[in-house]
Structure 1
Amino acid sequence: MLHRWILSIFAILLSIILTACNTNNTQQPQAQSTQNIATSNTSSQELPKVSAKRVVTLSSLTTDIISQLDQTKLVGISGSTLFKNDPRFHDIPRVSEGQSPPNLEKILALKPDLVIGAEGFSNQPIQQIQQLGISTLLTQVNRWKSLEDVTKELAQLIDVNPQSLLERYQSFLPEEPRTNTSTLVLVSSQPILAPNKNSWAGDLLEKFQVKNLAAELQGQSPISGYVTLSAEKVLEANPEVIILITPPQGGSETAILESFKKEGFWQKLRATQNNRIYVFDYYGLINPGSIDAIKKTCEQLKQNLLS
């Protein structure tokens, strides 16, 4: 089940985010981006010369950023489980749901002056929207700096000051990270996938001065910014801490743990023997997802690795 997720949803979502993350809003792989740092990109003719007042967002992260900057500018968003119970978005029309492509008729009916998508995920609809003469923006977030850069660019486009939001981001990070704990983030068990430094997860671990044992590894994984590990390689690394990831479609911590306990190497690891196995949500650590998801992940990193 996890294997299917990695090769399907992960290859689609991570294409967007990991494309930005790797260098893949979240929302992840253009699976094979050659970019090292994902920043926002715009079509040469599209950026509005005046403040955008009617914005449609096609990714959860940009939806959240625009909402935090100026909620009144949002007229349409893509559906996301992250915002299912968020009152901020109850009355805003959805132009897509799940993995379905955006409905162009719905977007046009909202009369936007700016449509924002995610590189590697929204390219085709964004191109179609451009052809209709509507200003567009494609974003990629694969590093903390690209999160800040995209936020500044969006703020400029809707003519607001991003400083308070940028300061909020900074508050998520530890003032004096004091850990060099050897860590492996294992995204799936079959195959065993781990993020290297060219991913959102890898960059975030670096912000916390966590020793990511896969940081410098390179491999043939179909997902940019991720490497496939053998059981022997995991045993050789023998991390002090292991972080497991719940899949984006949901799943219990117990099910995630059980999938790894079946592996012969599992009980031989220091992290297992010292009970330092932690389960993190996909949104926040693998895919930035939303500001709140990033905040929760940072809080969990502080609690589990810095305390």
Structure 2
Amino acid sequence: MRLLCALLGLLCWPLSTWAQAPQRIISLTPHLTELLFDIGAGDRIVATDDASDFPPEVKTRPQVANYRSINLEALLAQKPDLVVAWRSAQSRMLAPIEQLGIPVFYSEPTDFASLADEMRRLGKLLALEPSANAQADAYMARLNAIKSRYGKPKPVSVFYQLWYPPLTSVSGVAWPAQAIELCGATNVATGAKTPYPQIGLEQVIKANPRLILAGSQDPAVLTHWQQWPMLDAVKNRQLRLINPDELHRFTPRALNAVEQVCEAIADANPAS
């Protein structure tokens, strides 16, 4: 370890400094930045990635990464005692950091309920269990209330437009796909081999969704559907926007967007 540090011209921290709860945290993904603030550790964040923009005060912190790369020199200059990151996207890039002995907390929530587990894990790691557990309990209570209110199956097929062009949707473990299922509707892209499949226009026309959602705040992203007035969603004016900053991030704020999805499905339900 010390030889590696000397060769790289870096400062290594002795293991004894990690005996207490981490106080200098670098967050390399937006959802973890939000979670740290949620559980009361926002003041410990010393640097972030360039996409961390919520809550607004985090924008003043130094940025040491983007979605493609991590500036290891800038990261190490902050002398972190913990780095938090997204496992599937960043574990390879962080291998040198782990080799230096700097602890890394990896996040990989698989569904809405697992987010509460991650909040509790972070709380335990940071000696913030009371506040983290309270936030996790409140999150699960809201999630269960949404399921109870909207979860009954409905005869509504939904196409979720992640972006266009190319026409891309969601399936499987993608959170928008899980939201559609949670709200009791049928996802047109169910059965796709990847979470974010490219979808042929013909497939959408054949499925004739009753509701088309788009992860965007720009109404223009849905205008191309007006070329297909025979679609039930177009005919019945069931084209809706969903806040992507909420639904596409693994944070408690995602439930705001889940409620948007559920309300849109309820409005499109012919039985209502």
Size of the alignment, in residue pairs?
Answer: 243
Please state how far the C-alpha of 1:302 moved relative to its aligned partner.
Answer: 3.8
Q: 1:300 matched to which residue of 2?
A: 260
Distance 1:49 1:199 in 2: 37
Q: Which residue of 45, 67, 78 maps to 1:74?
A: 45
Contact 1:179 1:306 in 2 (8 A): no
TM-score (norm 1): 0.70
Q: 2:9 matched to which residue of 1?
A: none
Aligned with 2:206: secondary structure?
A: helix
Contact 1:179 1:305 in 2 (8 A): no
Q: Which residue of 84, 87, 99 maps to 1:116?
A: 84
Q: Which residue of 156, 175, 180 maps to 2:124?
A: 156
Please state how far the C-alpha of 1:134 moved relative to its aligned partner.
Answer: 0.5
Distance 2:20 2:266 in 1: 45
Please state how far the C-alpha of 1:290 moved relative to its aligned partner.
Answer: 4.4
Report whether the alignment pairs 1:257 with 2:222.
yes
Q: 1:145 matched to which residue of 2?
A: 113
Q: How does 1:169-180 map to 2 (within 5 A)?
A: 169-170=139-140, 171=142, 174=146, 175-177=148-150, 178=152, 180=154
- For residues 229-255 of structure 1, what are the alpha-carbon distances to aligned partners after superposition, in whole Å with 9 as ceiling and x for unaligned? 323321221111111222xxxx7212x
Report whether the alignment pairs 1:57 with 2:22.
no
Q: How does 1:123-142 map to 2 (within 5 A)?
A: 123-142=91-110
Contact 1:79 1:95 in 2 (8 A): yes
Q: Which residue of 224, 234, 242 maps to 1:272?
A: 234
Distance 1:52 1:227 in 2: 39
Please state how far the C-alpha of 1:185 moved relative to its aligned partner.
Answer: 0.8
Gaps (5+ residues) in structure 2?
1-14, 268-272
Distance 2:165 2:225 in 1: 9
Larger Rg: 2
Please state how far the C-alpha of 1:184 moved relative to its aligned partner.
Answer: 1.4
Q: 2:178 matched to which residue of 1?
A: 203
TM-score (norm 2): 0.78
- For residues 50-85 of structure 1, what are the alpha-carbon distances to aligned partners after superposition, in whole Å with 9 as ceiling and x for unaligned? 5222211100001111111122332222122633x7
Q: Which residue of 197, 213, 220 maps to 1:227?
A: 197
Please state how far the C-alpha of 1:275 moved relative to its aligned partner.
Answer: 0.5
RMSD: 2.6
Greater Cα offset, 70-79 or 113-122 = 70-79
Contact 1:61 1:291 in 2 (8 A): no
Please state how far the C-alpha of 1:118 moved relative to its aligned partner.
Answer: 0.9
